[in-house]
Structure 1
Amino acid sequence: MTHPLALPMAVPEKGLPARVRIHEVGARDGLQNEKGTVPTQVKAEFIRRLADAGLTTIEATSFVHPKWVPQLADAEELFPQIAGLPVDLPVLVPNERGLDRALALKATRVAVFASASESFAKANLNRTMDAALAMFAPVVTRAKEAGVHVRGYLSMCFGDPWEGPVPVPQVVDVCRTLLDMGCDELSLGDTIGVATPGHVRALLTELTGHGVPLELLGVHFHDTYGQALANTYAALQHGVTTVDASAGGLGGCPYAKSATGNLATEDLVWMLRGLGIDTGVDLERLVATSVWMAGQLGRPSPSRTVRALSHKEQ
């Protein structure tokens, strides 16, 4: 898969981070939205290939009830197949039962999934925001007591399909609650892709103004309106060094029908390489992985970088 422009020219900019950690979500956030069930062996091979491409944090699966996310019903079967990889393998745990299942398999990193809006909390968790946070409190406490790293996802940070724009102070309040609960890091989710760079800067400024350290924040942008890279760049300018992305641009959100795919990891790596920012990712291997996965799914990758760097039609 050689290409005359296999890598962009690196032109570093002052004020940007020297290195960014990519939190790869394709194997969980991407595959959970597939209409059909992806075989466990294919998922395991996908994760192994992602690790081989240099990704060091690969979200593996979710210990949610199979009724709600049948695509990830094989979590107990999948996790032992990949547990020996030399990378971080976070898993989503929606409640204490999910945590029990994760701890039984010796998972060392878990994530809880909160909402910045009432409507999405009710649609996704069938609870109010406060009730959902109350449900997460013992999960986080028990995980920390077990020595497990806890990530707090916060969805609808910028807009909600039912309520419209979400007030910045409301997002800050939920972030503070999750951190006070004991979360080690937060991921700010633009679940329906409506954020713009100014909005991103406004939220980050408000968060740091309320004592939330930048090193505890990651960003998770969807590309519904083509803003994911622009929003990522705004976050980098602000000092954020953790960016969520999905190999090949897989995924969306099953509870927000207007949400399209996640930011493609390849598109992110291309931009970061051009800015002289280190990720440790081998772009050629990553593109090959997404081309392979697209073949498994029977459709082309939506990632522009994957399409540009792969010669043949997928």
Structure 2
Amino acid sequence: MNKKLLVFLAIVVLGFLAFFLRFGGVHGFVSSWQTFSNGSTWMPFSPYGNRVENAAKLVRKNATHLIFEDQSLFWKGQGAKVLPKLNEKGQLKKFVITDGGSGYGPLVTASVLGAGASQFDIGEVTVRNGQVTEVSINKTGKWYSSPRIFFEGEDLPYSGVAEIKYRNGQLMDSRQYLEGELHGKWFKWKYNGIPLFEKDYLRGLKHGTHMYWYGEPIDPKDYKTAGGDAGDGGTDKKTYVSLWVEVNELVKVEFKGKHPSQASNKWIIDQYKLKGGSFGPKLLEHYENNQRHGLFEAYDGRGNKIFKDEYDLGKRIKHKPYDPTN
């Protein structure tokens, strides 16, 4: 028994030693895991599903691109263009010269700008007869063909949720990002928690349902104030001019002065819907890969439908107008 215990303890010690040699500790492991899982939507503890940051700390960087600089003092070349050739992981393999340009001197340098630029080290630029003929690569990295969002001071595109809040703590804006692109839900609310829109995105493209609201509460038609009608025995109770006013009074009791806040505003919205209230729809849209696809409907401020359209991959195939006055 003692021998087995010693073997087990030796294995545990070796495991911890290997862990610290590989990652340098827990912090190193967490950092490595975040890097590894940055592009995943399903891995446990991935940034996409767990990270929430203030949107003010995010920065937008242009798509990765290469620029040339002619070191000649006077006459400088121009017009050289390259096409990046990538491997299956999206990393740069080489540059294909699509246009060598003209008038370049013997000393030309090149550098990478935009998203992920810090990963790259560009080597010698070969010039023959005033034209760029080759660009060597000393150190490569991930090449991004579209602009990306980064958290300030970080090299990897941002994955996670970005939020903006009102002074009362209510969320104003919430967006999901995956590797620096909108991916998932984008919400916007008024200061009191009333929704303004909800949109779906897939890798930076509109994809799924987009719903917009006017941002004004609509009471149920059969709403009766808590005080009741005259003569029904309820005149001794407090009366309200609308259901919206009623739930905004009830929340003060429910949260005992801790209002307004994100939680109390959500309670108001939930109670209002539960009692039959709604928020006037403005526009319903459906997209597939950034193209209109499916049902589109528009409403006026009173909830009356204005039109109903259907699209098939960007092409409108049905249109039906409505007269809201009828």
Which band: TM-score by shorter chain?
under 0.3
Higher helix fraction (1 or 2): 1
The structure with the greater share of residues assigned to strand is 2
Superposition TM-score, scaled by structure 1 size: 0.21
Is the radius of gyration larger for structure 1 or structure 2? 2
Question: Highest relative contact order (Cα 8 Å, sep 6+), 1 or 2?
Answer: 1
